[in-house]
Amino acid sequence: MNTNPNVMNNKCVFTVFLLVFCCQLMSCQTEKREIISDVYQEVIEEFINNQISDLRQIKNSPPNPPGGEKSSSKIDIKKSNVLKPLAIIINTELFEPRLQINRDSILPEFSFIAKNNPIDHDLLEVDTLKIQKKVGHQIFFQKNFSELSETEKTLEEKAFVVHGTLNLGKIIFNTEKDLAYMEGGYRISKLNGIGFSIFLEKKNGTWKIIKITTTSVS
């Protein structure tokens, strides 16, 4: 064992350095994670609570085409497959934003979305249990839809059993970290869904969606 005081000093210095470095890094990561998590939390909750059509609430059938008369026997929507357990699949492999937004739909303060790059991160950092408790639906987080098991794939393609799939993209923040933009989509089958752009603002420490624009239909 080297007892030279100089060497001891150096070791001590190195250890302190490492400690300081790690603390700084962790604090930074925590801050970043919290911000990201808060944004996704808001988006997921908003979608499940307010954006997704809960077809159980439908009381009447859609109008019939010209010449078609409504049947006297009403369909009981509540018994149809539409009402299989309401559950959501959410991807965790976040896609890059396409930025194919109609320029007219961009709020002026969000011009940063053309300048800043999205943040690279993992959706698993979101507190999924917290969301699940809040919204009361079953949520499956999947890394990549192409990696779904065959059974899950069938469920997804057939729709209704799993209510739908929420697909989320990476977030772009402004420099002040009080505005955020992301893209996403929700589908109930391979050819039935929408794509959207979401604009968020942080007010009083809480992220709130201020605008959602539908950008595509499938």
In the range 107-136, which residues lie near other proteins by CB under 8 A?
111, 114-117, 119
Nearer to other proteins, 14 or 124 (CB): 14
List the beta bridge partners of residue 139: 88
Residues between 176 and 205 that touch other proteins (CB under 8 A): 177, 183-196
Q: How far apart are CA 8 and CA 5, in angstroms?
A: 5
User: Is the distance from CB of 206 to CB of 200 less than 8 angstroms?
Assistant: no
Tokens of 2: 């080297």
- Residue 84 near other proteins by CB under 8 A: no
Element (H, E) at 88: strand 87-91
User: Is the distance from CB of 166 to CB of 90 less than 8 angstroms?
Assistant: yes
Q: How far is the CB of 134 from other proteins (least distance, A)?
A: 18
- Residue 52 near other proteins by CB under 8 A: yes
Q: How far is the CB of 128 from other proteins (least distance, A)?
A: 19
Nearer to other proteins, 129 or 207 (CB): 207
Nearer to other proteins, 25 or 124 (CB): 25
Burial of 96 (0-12, 13-18, 19+ CB in 10 A): exposed
- Residue 7 near other proteins by CB under 8 A: no
